[in-house]
Amino acid sequence: MKLKGETVLLVEGEGKITVKSGRVEIFGGIFQGDFEINLQPYKLIPIRILEKAELKLNVKSYKLINQNTIPNEWLKLANYIEENDKRIVMVVGGVDVGKTSLITYLGNRLLQHGLKVAIIDADVGQNEIGPPASIALGIPLQPMPSLNSAKFIDAKFIGLTSPIKRSNLVIEGLTALINRAENLNFQRLLINTTGWIENGGLKFKMEKISSIKPDLIVALKFKDELAELLEWAEGKFEVAEVPCPPIIRRRRRIERKRIREYNYRRWFKGAKLTEIPWSSLNSITPNLFMGIPLKEGETKCLEESLKSKVVYAVRRSGEITAFTYKNPLIEKAEWKLKENLKAESIKVYRLNIFTYLLVGFHNVEGSFKGLGIIVNVDFKNRLFQTYTNVNFPGETLSMILGELKINPLNFKELGWINLQ
């Protein structure tokens, strides 16, 4: 396809584009010569033709428009961040308002002007720099057609595709990744966030802002969904409000799942079934498996109450954790067992709760090493049979249990569990 300057080509869906000649702009990044762009599924990419160009397209959908898809306010914002000492910039907004596009644009513009940029993608549901169910740190080394073009540096495994149950881990992970970015001597740090607004989402954003204390909050407003946050931030933090892009790809929930399946496949490339002894792990979080085994009489007491065989049970201080074939304790039986077993709390899990559970691995320094899917827990030999591409045996690693189940054959999400 040969195109004239000042035309915008909108492409959508998984595929590939090669810039054969000419110059084009994608989210503020300039691409020219023989350059190849890989496209993700369900993602809309605007390619602005700066001068006569020839492109080779292998895409599902495209159309030509005569409209700039980048608001002028975005360019003014990029210049403001560059010219002023706004080292940490956090972008907030609802679902599908253009946060990732804005982060990509700002990263490209700042990089183009010679600044060293770091980016944290804290969207656990639609993370582009790291794997799903994580937050990740990356740095752009060259213009980015999309955020996943940034060089991956590190990630923190959260274990869910929504921060609603693990918001504390997100804030802790953000703090750790900001510290990691400091070691890279960044000049500007851009932080992408989730679109969670309702049912506690705004309060969570306020907690993140209070913890991180960004130099600038960028609000992408669609309607008035950020009104409470903006009122709270007034006088405490500097806020810049910018419009959403004129053309937005709104994704359905099923499309978001398909994107995650696509990314799971990337992060599990080369994975195989691996046996991981408990003893080879530095730690397991939450600590459900380690402790002093219950005495025979204590195990029998537990089995009589549960009316089921207890496969494995341990005591840690005043807490007892047990694994059985039947449902967890009913409240009426629990208080009596606590008294009989002299325990402050008793947690009972069905064995199949761990089948197909997503887990993450970090080394002793806290750096992300990869994902795994537990296929089976062998309590007799005390090992996890896990589908992973992480090298075992290798360096000593810690394992974090997620609360999301993934089918290792097709990477479809099978639902959430509760490990509390």
Question: What pLDDT is attached to residue 308?
Answer: 85
User: Three-state DSSP class for 276?
Assistant: strand
> Residue 365 gets which letter from DSSP?
T
- Residue range 225-246, pLDDT digits in tens: 899 999 999 999 999 999 999 9
Q: Quick one: pLDDT band at residue 332, thresholds 50, 70, 90?
A: low
Q: What percent of the chain has pLDDT over 70?
A: 98
Distance between CA atoms of residues 108 and 91, nearest Å: 15
Q: Quick one: pLDDT band at residue 86, thresholds 50, 70, 90?
A: very high
Query: Has residue 189 got a pLDDT over 70?
Result: yes
Nearest to 311 by CA among 327, 320, 299, 301: 299
Q: Are 49 and 4 in contact (CB under 8 A)?
A: yes
∠ CA 88-129-245, rounded to 5°: 70
Distance between CA atoms of residues 320 and 314, nearest Å: 6
What is the Cα gyration radius of the chain? Answer: 24
Please report, for residues 94, 226, 298, the alpha-carbon distance to residue 223 in angstroms, rounded to integers and kept in the order given. Answer: 10, 8, 59
Distance between CA atoms of residues 362 and 154, nearest Å: 10
- Residue range 305-321, pLDDT digits in tens: 888 889 999 998 889 99
Q: Quick one: pLDDT band at residue 333, thresholds 50, 70, 90?
A: low
Distance between CA atoms of residues 292 and 92, nearest Å: 46
Query: Has residue 334 got a pLDDT over 90?
Result: no
The residue whose two tokens read 């500097």 is: 238
Query: Has residue 339 got a pLDDT over 90?
Result: no
> Residue 332 gets which letter from DSSP?
H
- Cβ–Cβ contacts within 10 Å for residue 172, how many? 14
Average pLDDT of the residues in 363-389 = 96
CA atoms within 13 A on the CB side of 192: 33
The domains located in the chain, with CATH, are: 2-65 (2.60.120.1030), 72-260 (3.40.50.300), 268-420 (no CATH)
Find all residues with CB under 8 Å of 189, minimum gap 6, and list them: 87, 88, 89, 117, 118, 119, 120, 178, 181
User: Three-state DSSP class for 364?
Assistant: coil
By DSSP bridging, strand 216-221 and strand 239-243 are parallel
Whether pTM exceeds 0.85: yes
Q: Are 161 and 192 in contact (CB under 8 A)?
A: no
- Residue range 26-84, pLDDT digits in tens: 999 999 878 888 888 888 899 999 989 999 999 888 999 988 899 999 999 999 999 99
Query: Has residue 277 got a pLDDT over 90?
Result: yes
Question: What pLDDT is attached to residue 244?
Answer: 93
Average pLDDT of the residues in 345-357 = 91
Q: Are 66 and 86 in contact (CB under 8 A)?
A: no
> Residue 155 gets which letter from DSSP?
E
Token digits of residue 193: 């966030």
Average pLDDT of the residues in 8-27 = 91
Token digits of residue 337: 């067992």
Buried b (16+ CB within 10 A) or exposed e, 79-110: eebbeeebebbbbbbbbbbbbbbbbbbbbbbb
